[in-house]
Amino acid sequence: KLVIKFKNFYFQSRSYIGLLGVFLLIILVIIYSFIYGSYYSVSYNSLSVLWFLAVASISSYSLLCAGWGSYNNYSFLSSVRCAFGSVSFEACFMCVVIFCSLCYCSYNLIDFYY
């Protein structure tokens, strides 16, 4: 009863930032489907690898927003830890992808498939 009363009459202002993080993750999923989609795919673009790297780098911001908007110190610290882990993974991953694209002499994702 106390939780329902608390949620009905008081909506915390920082909760919108948490919702922004969740919506940003949903938008990232939609953009990933456009990158690897069928006919309207971005993978036929000549710079599709760079599009993929740019979209992948936004994911750490959404994790930080979701953790900070929750009003819990533990979730905020875990979101910071997760964001740092994803940034360090993305740095290594970006180096490998750029090295492979330099070996193939193309930034097109289709060239990686064939």
Please say whether the beta carbons of 68 and 60 come within 8 A. Answer: no
The reported pTM is 0.70
**pLDDT-derived band at 99, boundaries 50, 70, 90:** very high
Contact criterion met (CB below 8 Å) for 67 and 78: yes
Task: Find all residues with CB under 8 Å of 96, minimum gap 6, and list them.
Answer: none
Quote the pLDDT of residue 5.
Answer: 52
Q: What is the mean pLDDT of the chain?
A: 79
- Is the pLDDT assigned to residue 31 strictly greater than 70? yes
Residues 51 and 32: their CA atoms lie apart, in Å, by: 10
Residues sharing a CB contact under 8 Å with residue 44, sequence separation 6 or more, in sequence order: 108, 110
Give the model confidence (pLDDT) of 42-97 as tens digits: 667 778 888 888 888 888 888 888 888 887 888 888 888 988 888 888 889 889 98
SS3 45: coil
- Average pLDDT for residues 5-20, to the nearest whole number? 66
- Are residues 18 and 65 in contact, defined by beta-carbon separation less than 8 angstroms? yes
**pLDDT given for residue 13 in this prediction:** 67
